[in-house]
Amino acid sequence: MNDFRIGFGYDVHQLREEVDFWLGGIKIPHHSGAVGHSDADVLIHVMCDALLGAANLRDIGYHFSDQDPQYKGIDSKILLKEVLALVEKSGYALGNLDATICLQRPKINPFIPAMKECLAKVMQVEESQLSIKATTTETLGFVGRQEGVSAYCVALIHRKTPSSP
């Protein structure tokens, strides 16, 4: 049995004007927002996929189908809590997450502390376990043209011991 496991997540959402922009569990003030079946929080979605992958539990779409009406418009923080419960049930706990958001506009760096605070509360972990970074694509591709947002995440989980939280 492995004491440590890593997982990787990648996600993309189209941006559309006059849609709320949820990112990292907080609402970002911007004229465009991400479109999806849920609240389209691309950061939380990659976190979920990285955690599920590390625990060998498939992916977010397997557990929360975009064909299921119960997940229409759902707050992705709820999905993240459920994913963490699945990881914990499989005998693992979070070590740390490292995520990168790719977005041309708006600039995300000013919002990262609020995202970390929100997500740490949802996940019941220390903020130091969550690394969130942001980058642009230097105006290249769909991100550069401000047509979409993408994100990447890696997660490290470890086998829980009787004294692990």
Domain ranges of the chain: 4-138+147-159
Question: Can you give the pTM of this predicted structure?
Answer: 0.94
Q: Residue 165's pLDDT is what?
A: 58
How many H helices and E strands in the chain?
Answer: 5, 7
CA distances from 59 to 2, 9, 20, 127, 164 (A): 20, 9, 25, 24, 25
Q: Residue 66's pLDDT is what?
A: 86
Q: What φ, ψ does residue 33 adopt, rounded to 5°? A: -140, 170
CA distance 101 to 85: 25
Q: Residue 2's pLDDT is what?
A: 66
Q: 10-residue block means of pLDDT along the chain (165 residues)?
A: 90 96 98 94 98 96 88 94 97 98 96 98 98 96 96 97 63
Please name the amino acid found at residue 82: E
Please check whether residue 153 is in contact with residue 46, taking contact to mean a CB–CB distance below 8 angstroms. yes
Q: Residue 1's pLDDT is what?
A: 56
Could you tell me which CATH number the domain at 4-138+147-159 has?
Answer: 3.30.1330.50
